[in-house]
Amino acid sequence: MLKGRHLVEPGDFSVEEMETLFSLAEHIEQDETYLRESCRGKVLATLFFEPSTRTRLSFEAAMLRLGGSCLGFAEPGSSSAAKGESLADTIRTAACYADAVVMRNPKEGAALLASRYSSVPVINAGDGGHHHPTQTLTDLLTIRQLKKAAGVAMAGDSPFLGLTVGCCGDLKFGRTVHSLIKALSRCPNVKFILISPEELKVPEYITGGILKKKGAAFLETSRLEKVIGDLDVLYMTRVQRERFFNEEDYIRLKDSYILTAEKMRLARKDLIVLHPLPRVNEIAVEVDADPRAAYFKQVKYGMYVRMALLASILGAV
Ligand code: CP
- 43 three-state secondary structure: strand
Does the beta carbon of 277 sit less than 6 angstroms from any atom of ligand 1?
yes
Does the beta carbon of 118 sit less than 6 angstroms from any atom of ligand 1?
no
**For 208-239, how does the pLDDT look when each residue is reduced to its tens digit (9 = 90+)?**
999 999 999 999 999 999 999 999 999 999 99
Q: Is residue 140 part of a domain?
A: yes
Residues 180 and 138 in one domain: yes
CA 91 to chain centre: 22
Residues 145 and 224 in one domain: yes
At residue 73 the predicted structure's pLDDT band, cuts being 50, 70 and 90, is very high
Pick the atom of ligand 1 nearest to 135's CA: 1
Residue 64 burial (C-beta neighbours within 10 Å; 0-12, 13-18, 19+):
middle
Does the beta carbon of 14 sit less than 6 angstroms from any atom of ligand 1?
no
Mean pLDDT of 281-291: 98
Range of the domain at 160: 133-299
Q: Is residue 1 part of a domain?
A: no
**For 248-283, how does the pLDDT look when each residue is reduced to its tens digit (9 = 90+)?**
989 998 989 999 999 999 999 999 999 999 999 999
> Nearest Cα to 285, choosing from 299, 296, 269?
296
- Atom 1 of ligand 1, residue of closest alpha carbon: 276
Task: Read off the pTM.
Answer: 0.96
**For 27-57, how does the pLDDT look when each residue is reduced to its tens digit (9 = 90+)?**
999 999 999 999 999 999 999 999 999 999 9
Q: What is the pLDDT of residue 156?
A: 67
Number of domains in the chain: 2
Q: Is residue 4 part of a domain?
A: no
